[in-house]
Amino acid sequence: MIGAKALWKSERHRAVLRCAAYTAVTLVLSAGKIGEIYGVWALSAVAVSGGRSRGFWSAIGALLGAYLFYDFQSGLRMAASAVLIYCANMAFFDVKISRLRCFAPVLTAVCLLLVQSVYLVGRSARHWALALAAAAITAAAATMLSREDREHSLRTLCVLLAVVSAAVPLEVEGFSVGRAAGAWLVLLCSGGTTPLASAAIGAGIGLVVDLSVAKPTLLFTAAYGCGALCVSLLSGFPRWLRGSILCLCVMLTVLCLESDHGAVLIYESLCGVVAYAAVPRRWLPTAGVYDSDSAGEREAEPAAVPVMAQMALQEGAEAYRALYDELLCRTVPFQRENPSVIFDHAAEEVCRSCVLARKCWQTEYDVTFSAFNDAVHPLLRRGRAAAEDFPLHFASRCVHFPQLLAAIDRGAYAYLLRRQYRSRLGSVHALAREQYAQMGQTLSAAVPHRGELRFHCRIGTSLRAKDGERVCGDQLAVFTAGEMLYLLLSDGMGSGEAAHAESAMTVRLLRKFLKAGIEAKSALKTLNTALTLRCAEGCGFTTIDLLALDRSSGQATLYKYGAAPSYIKREESVTTMAAGSLPAGLQESGTDPESSRFTLQEGNMFIMVSDGVIGGGEDWLRQVIKNWGETDPQVLSQQILAESRRHGGLQDDCAALVVYLEKTLPPDEKRV
């Protein structure tokens, strides 16, 4: 017996299963009716399926639904509409108009009205209004079903509306499960949109409920529209309170319109409220407001990354890694061209017609080969051919030596150009391979963490432009991502506007990577590769000084790309953290950034400065840090820049960044 996996692995079986799925879905949607005669949901599914096989099998599902769920006249009209929609899709499937977003909704509404209008001649305005409402709902359903995958919630809403429409006529002692489900759906959809959008959605759900019976009214359109508006305005309150507001709106509408089954309708809404209260909170749509179940909870909580989003990131990372491992990592490197081609081409051009060709290339081949071999190294070193590169006995015997020398010169020029081209192309390929590898690492590392914070940090920052400049070429940034605190300093090449633009761009891009939860090493490698490409185009480079501090444990990692030394102050001792790497853009692509790991404790200070501060030496700075006895980091950063004036600090841009760790937060300080 063939298993389910074996069936799915066969392309033929997959095609059969897809066709069966199209038929089954459309058949189920056929159960939903408007006015008990219009199969709007099934017709919209046929329209969205398009022409060819998918549309054909969807039309088959609509025909089966017309036979099973409708009487003869209504089923005949629905079948005719489905066939007309499929034929129109087949006629226009290769025309540009069929790719418009409005094509399926307009086609569905037009075909439904064309078929139904024949039966509406001489009927009352009520029948015409019902047909127009059904056409409008069909167009809206087709619009929701034709949305892209990123808007899958609209497709889900459309299917739920079809289910509600099918369940409304099913009553037990006057109680309708469909109407209770409608109240539940209103509450479910009112928590993730604006008040006006919620009111429109609620009115739409109410209209579907009203039109799903033989004698439609507008009771639920008014009740659900007003109820959804009120529920949306109270989105920060407990669910039981919002459900009570919806029940109140239904009760007031029933009293105003004097319905004969008011008690039952209120009871149905109450059942919908109970069902909504039982829905797990993670299933509820939100609009950035925490959905609290108790009136006292008002503090917004950080949104957790959905499980599906984490799985998508991991799958994307695996795809990039597989692409790198299977294709790019196994790429055969460019083979170096043998310099002998220079002499081969020259001999082909000059020696072929020479009277001594037989003697030089056959009888005395060893002598000719040695002469050319001796000339290779000086030729490639100089970049052009010269007579002194060849032995005298060879040059004096060659009757076409000037012509041969010119041909070798041209061949050497072309050879060097080809070698330079291959070298640059190899560098570009290496950068591309590295980008794919880093993309896999970046995506796999983009999973946010959250732990209990043990340390609070106070920050001090100071900047000063070079004497005579309006803007500072150094840039600072301090930000958090989960439990991680990042201190970033970038120094652009030179000073002034150009250096400011380069360092600001570096800080901005790196901040976006780290705020997204991407690991610091992966972000730095990606940015270094991109800056390498910019430097190859003549743009400037920047230094990067990055401290990643885990506030839950005190573990810190310092990354440097050509940056000045940093300092750790622990009581009376000062530790220097220096590195010897090149600035970002000059560092070799693919190599990990130079890093140092250490632990910071309560009362420790970490000081980060640009090279303009220590341009005249660093001994004075170490002494200032060692003698510092206060705990205010802002005062220390200002003191460092003030002291740097006496040590060459006016000759370059200067920046200082200080962080002080403490376990208890004073009431007058602000948390980082």
pLDDT tens-digit map of 90-133: 888 777 777 777 888 888 888 888 888 888 877 888 888 888 88
Q: How many domains does the chain fold into?
A: 4
The pLDDT of residue 442 is: 59
> DSSP letters of 528-584?
HHHHHHHHHTT---EEEEEEEEETTT-EEEEEEESPPPEEEEETTEEEEE---PPPB
The pLDDT of residue 446 is: 53
The pLDDT of residue 435 is: 63
Domain boundary among 128, 151, 167: 167
Length in residues, the chain: 672
CB atoms within 10 A of CB 336: 9
Q: Cβ distance 79 to 64 under 8 Å?
A: no
Task: Please check whether residues 461 and 439 belong to one and the same domain.
Answer: no
Task: Please check whether residues 549 and 438 belong to one and the same domain.
Answer: no
Dihedral sign computed on CA atoms, order 486, 487, 490, 495:
positive
| Residue 668 is assigned to a structural domain of this protein | no
| Residue 296 is assigned to a structural domain of this protein | no
Task: Please check whether residues 95 and 121 belong to one and the same domain.
Answer: yes
Which helix (H) or strand (E) is 203 found in, with range?
A: helix 195-211
Q: How many CA atoms lie within 13 A of 522 on its CB side?
A: 21
Q: Is the pLDDT of residue 671 over 70?
A: no
Q: Is the pLDDT of residue 30 over 80?
A: yes
Tell me the pLDDT band of 667, cut-offs 50, 70 and 90.
very low
The pLDDT of residue 426 is: 66
Tell me the pLDDT band of 556, cut-offs 50, 70 and 90.
very high
- The dihedral over CA atoms of 524, 526, 527, 529, expressed in degrees to the nearest 10, equals 120
| Residue 669 is assigned to a structural domain of this protein | no
What is the rounded CA–CA span in Å between residue 148 and residue 162?
20
The pLDDT of residue 536 is: 60
Dihedral sign computed on CA atoms, order 387, 393, 394, 399:
positive
Q: Is the pLDDT of residue 606 over 90?
A: yes
pLDDT in tens, 177-216: 778 887 788 887 776 567 787 778 888 888 888 777 777 7
Task: Please check whether residues 356 and 493 belong to one and the same domain.
Answer: no
| Residue 300 is assigned to a structural domain of this protein | no
Pairing of strands 605-609, 573-577: unpaired
Of 232-246, 455-469, 486-500, 513-527, the least confident? 232-246
Q: Cβ distance 512 to 518 under 8 Å?
A: no
Q: Is the pLDDT of residue 557 over 90?
A: yes
What is the rounded CA–CA span in Å between residue 104 and residue 61?
18
Tell me the pLDDT band of 608, cut-offs 50, 70 and 90.
very high
Once rounded to an integer, what is the mean pLDDT over residues 265-285?
70
pLDDT in tens, 392-434: 777 777 877 888 888 888 888 888 777 877 777 666 666 666 6
Once rounded to an integer, what is the mean pLDDT over residues 372-380?
79
Nearby residues of 197 by Cβ (< 8 Å), 6 or more positions away: 232
Please list the alpha-helical segments (H only) found in 446-544: 496-515, 520-536
| Residue 140 is assigned to a structural domain of this protein | yes
Please report, for residues 18, 154, 351, 359, 393, the alpha-carbon distance to residue 367 in angstroms, rounded to integers and kept in the order given: 76, 84, 15, 10, 10
Which helix (H) or strand (E) is 418 found in, with range?
A: helix 401-445
Once rounded to an integer, what is the mean pLDDT over residues 567-578?
90
Domain boundary among 386, 418, 447: 447
CA nearest neighbour of 49 among 121, 104, 125: 104
| Residue 295 is assigned to a structural domain of this protein | no
Q: Is the pLDDT of residue 449 over 60?
A: no
Task: Please check whether residues 140 and 40 belong to one and the same domain.
Answer: yes
Give me the sheet containing 542-550, strands edge to edge. Answer: 474-481, 484-492, 542-550, 555-561, 594-599
Please list the alpha-helical segments (H only) found in 234-306: 239-257, 262-277
More confident residue, 281 or 386: 386
What is the rounded CA–CA span in Å between residue 507 and residue 510?
5
- Which residue in this structure is represented by tokens 């491992």? 325
Q: pTM for the full model?
A: 0.43
Domain boundary among 110, 142, 167: 167
The pLDDT of residue 614 is: 87
Q: Is the pLDDT of residue 288 over 50?
A: no
Which region, left, alpha or beta, applies to residue 360 given φ > 0 means left and ψ of -120 to 50 means alpha?
alpha
More confident residue, 544 or 121: 544
* Share above pLDDT 90 across residues of the chain, in percent, rounded to a whole number: 8
The pLDDT of residue 152 is: 53
What is the rounded CA–CA span in Å between residue 385 and residue 405?
7
Task: Please check whether residues 118 and 207 belong to one and the same domain.
Answer: no
Task: Please check whether residues 537 and 473 belong to one and the same domain.
Answer: yes
| Residue 670 is assigned to a structural domain of this protein | no
Q: For every residue of 297-333, which 3-state class applies, written as one string?
A: CCCCCCCCCCHHHHHHHHHHHHHHHHHHHHHHCCCCC
Task: Please check whether residues 220 and 242 belong to one and the same domain.
Answer: yes
Task: Please check whether residues 492 and 632 belong to one and the same domain.
Answer: yes
pLDDT in tens, 250-269: 788 777 776 666 677 777 77
Task: Please check whether residues 349 and 466 belong to one and the same domain.
Answer: no
pLDDT in tens, 32-86: 878 778 888 888 888 888 777 788 888 888 888 888 888 888 888 888 888 888 8
Most confident of 7-16, 100-109, 222-231, 486-495: 486-495
The pLDDT of residue 182 is: 79
Tell me the pLDDT band of 547, cut-offs 50, 70 and 90.
very high
What is the rounded CA–CA span in Å between residue 30 and residue 40?
8
What is the rounded CA–CA span in Å between residue 69 and residue 63?
10
Tell me the pLDDT band of 172, cut-offs 50, 70 and 90.
confident
Tell me the pLDDT band of 515, cut-offs 50, 70 and 90.
confident
| Residue 299 is assigned to a structural domain of this protein | no
Q: Cβ distance 21 to 8 under 8 Å?
A: no
The pLDDT of residue 10 is: 52
Tell me the pLDDT band of 321, cut-offs 50, 70 and 90.
low
Pairing of strands 566-570, 555-561: unpaired
Mean pLDDT of the chain: 76
Task: Please check whether residues 355 and 276 belong to one and the same domain.
Answer: no
Q: Cβ distance 408 to 343 under 8 Å?
A: yes
Q: Is the pLDDT of residue 444 over 70?
A: no
The pLDDT of residue 12 is: 61
Q: Is the pLDDT of residue 235 over 70?
A: no
Task: Please check whether residues 121 and 148 belong to one and the same domain.
Answer: yes
Nearby residues of 178 by Cβ (< 8 Å), 6 or more positions away: 164, 165, 166, 167, 168, 169, 170, 209, 212
- Domain membership of residue 635 as a residue range: 456-662
What is the rounded CA–CA span in Å between residue 340 and residue 351?
15
Tell me the pLDDT band of 8, cut-offs 50, 70 and 90.
very low
